Amino acid sequence: MILKASQRGGATRLAAHLLNTQDNEHVEVHEVSGFIADNLQDAFQETSAIAKGTRCRQFFFSVSLNPPENVPISAFEDAAKRIEQKMGLEGQPRVMVFHEKEGRRHAHVVWSRIDAKTMTAINLPFFKNKLVELTKELYLEHGWNLPKGLIDKSLRNPLHFTREQWQQAKRLNQRPETIKKTLKECWNISNNKQTFTQALKQHGYYLAKGDKRGYVAVDWRGEVYSLSRWLDVKTKDLKQRLGDNALLPAVDETKAAIDKKLVQRITQFLEEDTKKYHVRLTPLLTQRDNIKTRHQEQRKTLADEQAQAQHQEAAERQASFRTGLRGLWDRFNGRSKHLKKNHEIEIYQAHIRDRKEKDQLITQHLQERQQLQQILKRLRVQQQEDIQQLTNTVFSNLPKDKQEKILCEFNKVQTQIQAQSQARGFDLEM
């Protein structure tokens, strides 16, 4: 059964949680022992009062017991007793409460951490690790299949690693004793070919047919392990549980399948990176398009205003010429010629003015656009660095004879993804 624990205080709140009949179809207080009080609420208040004589604020040790199937009460009591022994809580006051919901039953056991004789709190170092060990023991003893969460995380199949886990796994090489322990664990928790195959896959091994060794396991790097030798199991026992090895895939076939899975995993990483890049890029491209539209509108507005000003100024200049006899007199005495020269100067100055205004607006637009361009460039560089980091991380953990083959497939996938990005308008020249 799964054992989850925490150190906590809050007597009133914990009692309310354990006696909650709203979220549970049935609630049964099975045991209240070691307290003066004979009911759960008073027992918890009693512990809280005693804890005030110490500096301990988390005076309860609460454990939930969740079996994968229905088990008798004695199984819960036995598990509670073993928890006490492992944690050094023997003789401490405790309560046990059963909850039932949707046809399943689990239990909560709460111990007082306060030793009333010494008025000190019992230390519980590494209690989570200890409970994980006990959980594994209970699963093996009851013949239950170990859930994925109980498998040693350091021994998991690297083909199932996340991007972050690949980066953290600087060394994926395993020592011989670790490999043997892993293979034996898979054998011990399985009872047929199917369960053994699944257990191996969780650790990065694949069942195959050997040439002379009958039954072998192939790891994700392509190394081959004789099961009879690594498990210390006779071939007839292997055959009895796993069946005829002729039905298993050959080693070369298994290696090819593993390589395909590895390429698929790398492809997934690339697609995740690309998707993340697209998500971050999309609002920036929208901002770019909005800037472009706004700049076009502002430049058109300026052009219209300048054209209107030029038209008005031309009309004013034309109006400065007198007509009729006065106009003839102006041409005779040179006034018209003088006005014409002044107008030519005004036209030139207006041209310089308009061009300066336009240049200032364009400069302002360029500066705004360049700021966005720097963000786009940094994003593109970051994406390229992420891909390079992914390449270094993955291929540094591959055997040399495999690196060239997988790298070729990696480059093909990368080219395809880049083409897709370009078709969607995400592959920008930056």
What band does 151 get if pLDDT is binned at 50, 70 and 90?
A: low
373 close to 430: Cβ distance less than 8 angstroms: yes
What band does 411 get if pLDDT is binned at 50, 70 and 90?
A: confident
- Check whether residue 165 and residue 43 sit in a common domain: no
Is 163 or 136 the better-scoring residue by pLDDT? 136
pLDDT computed for residue 213 by the predictor: 58
> Which of 204, 230, 249 is the endpoint of a domain?
249
The domain that contains 100 carries what CATH number?
3.30.930.30
pLDDT in tens, 344-390: 999 999 999 998 998 899 888 888 888 888 888 888 888 778 777 77
pLDDT computed for residue 430 by the predictor: 37
Is 388 or 34 the better-scoring residue by pLDDT? 34
Identify the weakest region by mean pLDDT among 273-277, 288-292, 321-325.
273-277
Look at residue 424 and tell me whether its pLDDT is greater than 70: no
Listed residue (89, 138, 111) closest to 43, CA to CA: 111
Secondary structure class of 76 (helix, strand, coil): helix
- Check whether residue 316 and residue 346 sit in a common domain: yes
- Check whether residue 291 and residue 372 sit in a common domain: yes
Identity of the residue numbered 360: Q
> Which of 249, 267, 302 is the endpoint of a domain?
249
Task: Return the DSSP state at 159.
Answer: G
Q: How far is 50 from 112, CA to CA, in rounded Å?
A: 10
Mean pLDDT of 63-80: 90
- Check whether residue 93 and residue 47 sit in a common domain: yes
Mean pLDDT of 125-140: 86
Is 170 or 208 the better-scoring residue by pLDDT? 208
- Check whether residue 272 and residue 298 sit in a common domain: yes
150 falls within a domain: no
Tally the domains of the chain.
3
What band does 153 get if pLDDT is binned at 50, 70 and 90?
A: low
Domain containing 106: what range? 2-144
- Check whether residue 11 and residue 112 sit in a common domain: yes
pLDDT computed for residue 36 by the predictor: 92
Mean pLDDT of 306-323: 91
Residue 91: burial class (beta carbons within 10 Å; 0-12, 13-18, 19+): exposed
pLDDT computed for residue 87 by the predictor: 92
Look at residue 83 and tell me whether its pLDDT is greater than 90: yes
Mean pLDDT of 117-128: 90
Is 258 or 429 the better-scoring residue by pLDDT? 258
The pair of three-digit structure tokens given for residue 1, joined into one six-digit string: 């059964």
Q: How far is 70 from 98, CA to CA, in rounded Å?
A: 12
319 falls within a domain: yes
> Which of 144, 166, 196 is the endpoint of a domain?
144
- Check whether residue 161 and residue 119 sit in a common domain: no
- Check whether residue 23 and residue 125 sit in a common domain: yes
429 falls within a domain: no
pLDDT in tens, 223-246: 888 898 888 888 888 889 988 888
Kindly report whether the global pTM for this prediction surpasses the value 0.85. Answer: no
Is 304 or 184 the better-scoring residue by pLDDT? 304
Look at residue 154 and tell me whether its pLDDT is greater than 60: no
pLDDT computed for residue 168 by the predictor: 39
Cα 354 to Cα 303, 309, 316, distances in angstroms: 9, 10, 18
Percent of the chain with pLDDT over 70: 87
Mean pLDDT of 85-92: 92
Look at residue 190 and tell me whether its pLDDT is greater than 70: yes
pLDDT computed for residue 165 by the predictor: 45
- Check whether residue 262 and residue 411 sit in a common domain: yes
- Check whether residue 279 and residue 398 sit in a common domain: yes
pLDDT computed for residue 369 by the predictor: 86
Look at residue 403 and tell me whether its pLDDT is greater than 70: no
Secondary structure class of 93 (helix, strand, coil): coil
Identify the weakest region by mean pLDDT among 291-305, 332-346, 404-418.
404-418
149 falls within a domain: no
The sign of the CA dihedral 36, 42, 44, 47 is negative
- Check whether residue 195 and residue 269 sit in a common domain: no
pLDDT in tens, 267-281: 887 788 888 888 888
pLDDT computed for residue 429 by the predictor: 44
Strands (E) in 131-194, as ranges, are none
Q: How far is 95 from 101, CA to CA, in rounded Å?
A: 20
What band does 155 get if pLDDT is binned at 50, 70 and 90?
A: low
Identify the weakest region by mean pLDDT among 154-158, 203-207, 363-367.
154-158
pLDDT computed for residue 170 by the predictor: 42
Distance, first Cα to last Cα, the chain: 56
